[in-house]
């Protein structure tokens, strides 16, 4: 009788431990890696006005428990983003549950070969797919000073890759902000705090879908 009681006590203790561990894991925020250039990093802005910080606040205001890792580096091209991707993934204390990829602006500003940018972004998306990490790819538009053909080829890379990998796609990261001087810093390229607010407002609905994808992936 005593042995039976002791056995039940052990089973109950183990069940409690497993339940506690599950609850703790389930209670962790959804970690989102924001891989990008100066538009992600928050060039020229106070830290609290950077895109990842403002986006995290917007998602939390909707009741979503998230933590966004700012992996933006000013000046980065798609090649730079690819070169540090593994480091960005391993640098996090826990693997990210999802990712936002915002790269390509500096490729366009420098007139770098479109096919090379496409290969770099393709490789980035392939690595996330291999790790079963849901992705939101944000598109960019090329400056028109390199000619119509360059701009057309550049702009088409992003939707093509989004279709190829079946990832969420936001067509233009600077939508609603580009060329609007009241929403840009003095350089005419980077958003000011009001510009970041517009970007976050526009992109939040699809990031909510990204969070849901991450949760579903975790649950499965």
Clarify whether 38 is annotated catalytic: yes
SS3 label, residue 181: helix
Identify the active-site residue in 24, 132, 149, 187.
187
Token representation of residue 174: 């600077």
d(CA 37, CA 29): 24
Token representation of residue 54: 């403002």
Separation in Å, CA 195 to CA 54, 71, 107 = 11, 20, 22
Identify the active-site residue in 38, 78, 88, 107.
38
d(CA 95, CA 8): 37
Clarify whether 190 is annotated catalytic: yes
SS3 label, residue 186: coil
| Beta carbons of 51 and 39 less than 8 angstroms apart | yes
Clarify whether 24 is annotated catalytic: no
- The answer for residues whose C-beta is within 8 angstroms of residue 73's C-beta and 6 or more apart is 36, 37, 38, 41, 80, 81, 84
Catalytic sites, residue numbers: 38, 187, 190
């Amino acid at each position: 009788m005593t042995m039976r009681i002791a056995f039940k006590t052990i089973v109950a203790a183990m069940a409690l431990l497993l339940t506690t561990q599950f609850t703790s894991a389930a209670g962790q925020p959804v970690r989102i890696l924001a891989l990008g250039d100066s538009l992600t990093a928050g060039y020229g802005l106070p830290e609290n006005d950077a895109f990842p910080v403002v986006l995290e606040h917007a998602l939390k205001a909707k009741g979503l428990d998230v933590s966004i890792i700012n992996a933006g580096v000013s000046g980065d091209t798609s090649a730079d983003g690819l070169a540090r991707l593994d480091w960005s993934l391993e640098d996090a204390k826990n693997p990210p549950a999802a990712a936002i990829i915002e790269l390509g602006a500096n490729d366009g500003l420098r007139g770098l070969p479109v096919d090379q940018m496409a290969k770099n972004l393709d490789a980035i998306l392939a690595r996330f797919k291999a790790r079963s990490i849901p992705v939101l790819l944000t598109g960019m538009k090329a400056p028109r000073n390199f000619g119509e053909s360059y701009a057309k080829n550049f702009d088409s890379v992003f939707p093509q890759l989004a279709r190829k990998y079946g990832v969420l796609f936001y067509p233009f990261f600077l939508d609603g902000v580009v060329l609007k001087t009241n929403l840009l810093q003095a350089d005419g390229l980077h958003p000011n705090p009001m510009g970041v607010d517009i970007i976050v407002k526009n992109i939040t609905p699809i990031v909510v879908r990204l969070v849901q994808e991450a949760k579903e992936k975790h649950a499965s």
